[in-house]
Amino acid sequence: MHWRKSLLTLAMAGVLVACQGGSSGSDGGTPPPPPTDGGVDAGVEDGGVDAGTDAGAPYTATVSVAATRTDSRLACFKGNGEPECGLRLYQVMVEAFVDADSTADSNTGYGTSHHKGDLQGVINSLDAIKSTGVNALWLTPIFNSVPMSGQDDWASRLDATGYFASDYFNVDPKFGTNARLKELVEAAHARGLYVFLDGVFGHYKVNASDYASPLGRKLSTTGEQGGTGRRAVYPGDLDFFKEVAAHWVTEYKIDGWRLDQAAQVPVQYWDDLRTAVATAAADVSYTNAAGQSVHPLGYMVAEIWSGPADIASNGYGTTASPALRSTFDFPMRYSLVQTLAVEESGTGNRGASNLQAGYQSQLAYPAHAMPNLMLTNHDLVRFGDLLQRGALAQPGDSAWWARHKAAFSVMAEYSGPITLYYGDEVGQELPGFAAKEDNATCALRGVCDDHVSRTSAIVEGVPTTVGAPATVLSPAQADLKHYVASLMALREAHPALANGSRTHIYSDDNVFIDRKDKGTDNVLYVLNVKATPAVITVAGTAIGSAGPLVGLLGGTDVALADGRYVIELKPFDGRFFDIASPTAEGPQTGPGGGLSGQGPLARCDAPTVDGLGPLGKEMFIRGSYVGGDNFGATPANRRFAYKGDNLYQVVVNEPDVTAYTFKFASADWSTELAVSGGAPVVIASEQPMSLAAGPGKESSLAIPEAGDYVFSFRINATKNGGELMVSKCP
């Protein structure tokens, strides 16, 4: 049950998975994505019903005290004003975006776009991109991928993505020219947009060694090869890629890099590459939209499509030996789509507490980390298509647009940089993608999801192809875009959102409440994730407020009456409030339930009974923890012992604060168990357990302090469920 990239394997198969691949799992099909981790907070009174059980009766809940945890470990929670925390990137896949130059066309590619996108198309779209409220632009690779003699269409499709470059120092003529890129960067800077290129420093096209750098360096020819792709060899290729990383900053004044398949570069070399970018940025400057002379930002964000432990070890490094400062927050992304839609496996429509589980996954990261949240990228399925996959909404439904707005509101509240994928801001989708794919092998190979989102762009006021009329948005598309721009402006106006500490006030199956703080900027965020209206009664002391809550984004104010606020939420309603009169004491937290449970499942010294128990097989904790091989490993120190009375237990030493996802599973995956409904683990609480075969069924766990923990489960008589508990040993 792991999710990892397998670049050269896919290249040899002739299939593009430009940034993601692999297949291994309990169900024999596509493995699950790295799920999210966390816990559910105590200290609230809940008198409501599940969303959707009675559309006419609003859900109600009373919040008397806040949760016990405040997130302030990571860089963007500390409120130190790092400009990277406020980044709002807009990702463009160049070949699929806008065709404005008939001399620069790929004419083939993956997905259903026109495959004619070019740099001129991006230039023509800069004003429209700026109007979404973003402040940065990320372009997929634009380096020259030189065709090889006799290469087939699969290789040419790969070339169109740019993810297998030949010449790292020149723009691919299928996209434009070096001069056109300089024009694009200058035009973007003049509009207040940072520009980031896509750096592929772990693999390249096999003919890349034919193209020397300006300083005469050449890439190695000894790395693993598959099809037209070759793996880089470190440290041999380090100086070449340091030159690449610095060149585009120095010569074109780009502001940094998105780092493709960053785990392919041994983590100890990221400090060298990051330093090369920082040095180059310090040596040059440009004039920004305000007329100021500034240095390129030097931001680098890594793609490591895995669980939080792997992201930490392969990207961030450690506090003592830091590597990168930012990676994409895949765990939180999956938590987001699981909550408001479904993930790619079809599992989702979970409760609001699943969002807190996503945030808790960040416990696995060192303090310098700046996770970057996205909703979609070029390897994932668009949010709208996930709504259809889960049979939750269609484009003609009001819920379609409401769920989109709710998802974007979560991104607006997120501490740290965020990334929007082109078209999501207008609800772009492509239903029935596998049936539409122009090559039937896509469906047979099960990789359609990898490029379902690579559709021709919908850019307001800009023709999608040469000679086409300018695009006119529908009223619903225009409304969503306006809402997204309003959210981005809210992030700009309220630094607590992007760069403030987060106190989790409350979450249950229906509603999620956070408070964000940076100095005197204090914002309350309340979200209803269900189709049922909600009425939430919140004590002023629970959120640390002694006056009115001032509605932001045009929302109404909520008065304090008898020490409480009554907040009404429409289905999928995300509301932001300015806390006009914060109390000196801040949110009043609950007593919490502690980390040590009660009863047989909490016992750490129960004697072992001979035999394998009623399951008749060895069971393990399999997961994304350090040493877990992202669900692939069955280590002896996480093997359960049978204790009698249908009870299985193992004591695990957790040496650090961390978070991960797991299942209780046999070595052959014939038995898989997790918390029922994919709910996160609540430490010290006995929770219902059920069979959890297939992707997206993992449980998430946050370990708030180091120590020994006993993992226990009691299987029921029919062997299809029971109870489980994770408890700290005394």
Report the distance separating Cα 699 and Cα 684, nearest Å. 15
pLDDT at position 447, please?
65
Report the distance separating Cα 598 and Cα 621, nearest Å. 21
Residue 647 lies in a domain: yes
Asked if residue 68 lies in contact with residue 590, where contact means CB atoms within 8 angstroms, the answer is yes
Confidence label for 677 from pLDDT (cuts 50, 70 and 90)? confident
3-class SS letters over 538-602 = EEHHHHCECCCEEECCCCCCECCECCEEEEEECCCCEEEEEECCECCCCCCECCCCCCCCCCHHH
Report the distance separating Cα 61 and Cα 117, nearest Å. 50
pLDDT at position 445, please?
53
Q: Quick one: 335 and 449 in the same domain?
A: yes
Q: What is the pLDDT of residues 404-459, one digit of tens each?
A: 999 999 999 999 999 999 999 999 998 777 666 655 556 555 568 889 999 999 99
pLDDT at position 79, please?
84
Q: Quick one: 468 and 603 in the same domain?
A: no
Q: HSE, CB side, 13 Å, CA atoms: give it for residue 45.
A: 7
Asked if residue 180 lies in contact with residue 171, where contact means CB atoms within 8 angstroms, the answer is yes
DSSP 76: G
pLDDT at position 446, please?
58
Q: Is the pLDDT score of 75 beyond 50?
A: yes
Q: Which of 301, 303, 307 is nearest to 365 (CA)?
A: 307
pLDDT at position 148, please?
95
CATH number of residue 653's parent domain: 2.60.40
pLDDT at position 432, please?
75
Q: Which of 697, 698, 711, 710 is nearest to 660 (CA)?
A: 698
pLDDT at position 475, please?
97
Q: Quick one: 129 and 270 in the same domain?
A: yes
Cβ-Cβ contacts under 8 Å for 136 (sequence gap 6 or more): 87, 88, 89, 90, 193, 194, 195, 196, 255
Residue 114 lies in a domain: yes
Residue 60 lies in a domain: no
pLDDT at position 525, please?
98
pLDDT at position 433, please?
73
pLDDT at position 105, please?
97
Angle at 56 between CA 52 and CA 58, to 5 degrees: 70
CATH number of residue 106's parent domain: 3.20.20.80
Asked if residue 297 lies in contact with residue 258, where contact means CB atoms within 8 angstroms, the answer is no
- End-to-end Cα distance, the chain: 32
Burial 383-412 (b: 16+ CB within 10 A, else e): bbbbbbbbebbebeeeebbbbbbbbbbbbb
Q: What is the pLDDT of residues 4-55, one digit of tens each?
A: 333 332 232 222 223 333 222 222 222 333 322 222 222 232 222 233 334 5
Query: Which whole number is the average pLDDT over 592-608?
Result: 92
pLDDT at position 296, please?
98
Query: Which whole number is the average pLDDT over 465-494?
Result: 98
Measured in degrees and rounded to the nearest 5, phi and psi for residue 444 equal -65, -35
Residue 592 or 303, more confident: 303
Q: Is the pLDDT score of 288 beyond 50?
A: yes
Domain, as residue range, for 620:
593-728
Cβ-Cβ contacts under 8 Å for 245 (sequence gap 6 or more): 199, 201, 257, 273, 276, 277, 280
Asked if residue 181 lies in contact with residue 190, where contact means CB atoms within 8 angstroms, the answer is no
Q: Which of 430, 463, 493 is the last residue of a domain?
A: 493
Asked if residue 664 lies in contact with residue 724, where contact means CB atoms within 8 angstroms, the answer is yes
Q: What is the pLDDT of residues 510-524, one digit of tens each?
A: 999 999 999 999 999
Residue 55 lies in a domain: no
Q: Is the pLDDT score of 548 beyond 70?
A: yes
Name the residue with tokens 């790295």.
Answer: 34
For residue 480, what are its two tokens? Answer: 């969503």
Count Cβ atoms within 10 A of the Cβ of residue 605 and give its class: 0-12 exposed, 13-18 middle, 19 or more buried.
Answer: exposed
Residue 678 or 147, more confident: 147
Asked if residue 155 lies in contact with residue 161, where contact means CB atoms within 8 angstroms, the answer is no
Q: Is the pLDDT score of 714 beyond 60?
A: yes
Residue 138 lies in a domain: yes
**This prediction's pTM:** 0.91
3-state secondary structure of 125: coil
For residue 527, what are its two tokens? Answer: 């979200």
Number of domains in the chain: 2
pLDDT at position 592, please?
67
Q: Which of 475, 493, 511 is the last residue of a domain?
A: 493
Residue 548 lies in a domain: no
Query: Which whole number is the average pLDDT over 476-487?
Result: 98
Q: Quick one: 305 and 179 in the same domain?
A: yes
Confidence label for 630 from pLDDT (cuts 50, 70 and 90)? confident
Confidence label for 468 from pLDDT (cuts 50, 70 and 90)? very high
Residue 642 lies in a domain: yes
Query: Which whole number is the average pLDDT over 464-493?
Result: 98
pLDDT at position 444, please?
54
pLDDT at position 43, please?
29
Average pLDDT along the chain: 90
Count Cβ atoms within 10 A of the Cβ of residue 13 and give its class: 0-12 exposed, 13-18 middle, 19 or more buried.
Answer: middle
pLDDT at position 24, please?
27
Residue 294 or 3, more confident: 294
Q: Quick one: 412 and 270 in the same domain?
A: yes
Residue 15 lies in a domain: no
Q: Which of 493, 515, 530 is the last residue of a domain?
A: 493
Q: What is the pLDDT of residues 197-254, one digit of tens each?
A: 999 999 999 999 999 999 999 999 999 999 999 999 999 999 999 999 999 999 999 9
Q: Quick one: 470 and 340 in the same domain?
A: yes
Mean pLDDT lowest among 77-81, 309-313, 329-333, 386-390: 77-81
Q: What is the pLDDT of residues 523-540, one digit of tens each?
A: 999 999 999 999 999 999
Bridge partners, 707 (sequence order): 654
Query: Which whole number is the average pLDDT over 544-561?
Result: 97
For residue 682, what are its two tokens? Answer: 């609540």
pLDDT at position 591, please?
74
Residue 158 or 27, more confident: 158
Bridge partners, 576 (sequence order): 525
